[in-house]
């Protein structure tokens, strides 16, 4: 992992040569705050809209946990976005390449 991000004093990414996953950090923060993901009506609606648009509905435990942490106020919006970006760039299905200036 190229970058390191600090969330609630916990480092995500490479620290002292050892990678720490977003999943591990999110799980630790969730335990500290007693947070777990609970599906809401809005989540069901978003799944239905995604399905109707023809896209597959793919659930990911880490994504759901990050949403729950944000809803509970355990992490901020920008922290959630950074962690979600790091998580998705590590997944093979969602490889993201950086844009180059032309």
Mention every residue, 6+ apart, whose C-beta is less than 8 A from residue 36.
30, 65, 68
Strand runs labelled E in the chain: 4-7, 10-15, 18-20
**pTM as predicted:** 0.71
- Using CA atoms, how far residue 54 sits from 13, 50, 61, in Å, is 34, 7, 22
pLDDT attached to residue 66? 95
pLDDT tens track, the chain, 102 positions: 344 556 656 555 555 655 578 998 999 999 999 999 999 999 999 999 999 999 988 889 999 999 999 999 999 999 999 999 888 887 766 555 566 654
pLDDT attached to residue 19? 52
């Amino acid at each position: 992992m190229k970058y390191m991000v600090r969330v609630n004093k916990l480092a995500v990414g490479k620290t002292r040569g050892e990678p720490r996953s977003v999943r591990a950090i999110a799980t630790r923060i969730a335990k500290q705050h007693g947070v777990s993901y609970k599906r809401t009506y809005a989540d069901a609606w978003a799944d239905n809209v995604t399905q109707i648009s023809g896209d597959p509905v793919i659930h990911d435990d880490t994504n759901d946990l990050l949403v729950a942490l944000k809803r509970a106020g355990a992490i901020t919006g920008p922290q959630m976005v950074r962690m979600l970006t790091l998580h998705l760039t590590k997944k093979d299905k969602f490889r993201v390449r950086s844009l180059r200036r032309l």
